[in-house]
Structure 1
Amino acid sequence: MKPIKSYDQEPVSFNLAKLKRGGEHFEVVIDPDKIIDYKKGKITEVREVLQVVDVFSDAKRAMIASHDHIKSIFGTSDMLVVAKIILDQGDVQFTQEYRENKRAEKRNKILDIIVRNAVDPRTGFPHPRTRIENAFEEAKIKIDDMKDAEDQVQHIVSALKPILPIKFAMKEIEVIVPPPYATKAYPVIERYGKIISDNWLGNGSFNCVVDLPAGLQNDFFDAINKFTKGEVTIKVLREH
């Protein structure tokens, strides 16, 4: 992945890639989501990243750099070639609105991952989402705009540990579903984890072992009890 250099010093009304060359500033207006994909190599077409196929000296004032001046600096007046240089070598500047929206979206995704996978090591039970959210605030967790949510989880969990006893774990749970519900139980169980073994008992009950994120244990218990009207047999085999 190519590094994204980003700065927040001044408010802008466009998402921009900016490059200083020959003492002059050059800018292109970009799609903020596509520039991230471009930096990751998921997009290779420069045109796909640009909102406008023009190079500006000041995009906020709609001041387009002259072709002659661009050619004297970059050695070409081909806008796509110049835009590629700016995308590859320049800094990315996102609007405040975009940064705030993406930060909130990423924060929620990180919370979802932690809630789904984490437990209190003292009890083996999941933490309520509100407890984890409060720990986020107390630990003053900062979301990195430039990293995927998944890449920030371990660092954030480490930052939470002094405040909140927490660890990631999986649970293997044995389930026995009685005959009236057995034939339709598989998709209900599979929604929460991976069924690692299954068999049919002599009385027509469905017996299986499901491996699921520890944070989903309570939700799974609620769902399977509701589905079977409380007639299911559940046993936690191990945590790993």
Structure 2
Amino acid sequence: MSREYTLVRHQVENEKFEILVDPDKGLEYKRGILGNVSNALIIDTIFIDASKGEKASGEKLEKVYGTSDPLEIAAIMFEKGTFQLTAQQRKEMQEQKRRQVINIIARTYV
């Protein structure tokens, strides 16, 4: 796969699930900017281990999430799971936070 992607991981009842998402669109969805979860997904498949290509079975998804619809499950995973930021996204967020702190200090103490 040549496209850049990141993972959203969610663990329920000792079962781990992963989805592949576009890093930028995934962050926009997580922040509430992007309205539809399908726009953030690279592929609408739920994996047990994405690096090995192991897909989760429909029965297991039905048992854990109460549905086998990948879009509904992806929305739940975004809400309750962990979204992995890329190194570039972390760097940008740190820089943005640093600028905010500098602005607060400059306004308060000058």
Deviation at 1:103, TM superposition (A): 4.6
Structure 2 gaps, min length 5 = none
- For 2:28 and 2:89, the matched residues in 1 are separated by 14
- Is residue 2:30 matched to residue 1:30? no
In structure 2, what is the equivalent of residue 64 of structure 1?
55
- For 1:31 and 1:49, the matched residues in 2 are separated by 6
- For 1:103 and 1:83, the matched residues in 2 are separated by 22
In structure 1, what is the equivalent of residue 46 of structure 2?
55
Name the count of aligned residue pairs.
Answer: 105
State TM-score, norm by structure 1.
0.39
In the TM superposition, 1:78-97 aligns within 5 A as 78-94=69-85
Runs (4+) of structure 1 exceeding 4 A deviation are: none
- Is residue 2:36 matched to residue 1:45? yes
State TM-score, norm by structure 2.
0.81
Structure 1 residue matching 2:51: 3-state secondary structure: helix
Give the residue type in structure 2 aligned to 1:53. D
In structure 2, what is the equivalent of residue 102 of structure 1?
89
- For 2:90 and 2:64, the matched residues in 1 are separated by 36
Q: Which has the higher contact order (CA 8 A, sep 6+)?
A: 2
Change (3 A) 1:73 1:83: same
Change (3 A) 1:152 1:20: same
Deviation at 1:22, TM superposition (A): 1.5
Aligned counterpart for 1:154 among listed residues 88, 100, 106: 100
- For 2:60 and 2:38, the matched residues in 1 are separated by 21
Deviation at 1:14, TM superposition (A): 4.5
Which has more helix, going by share of residues? 2
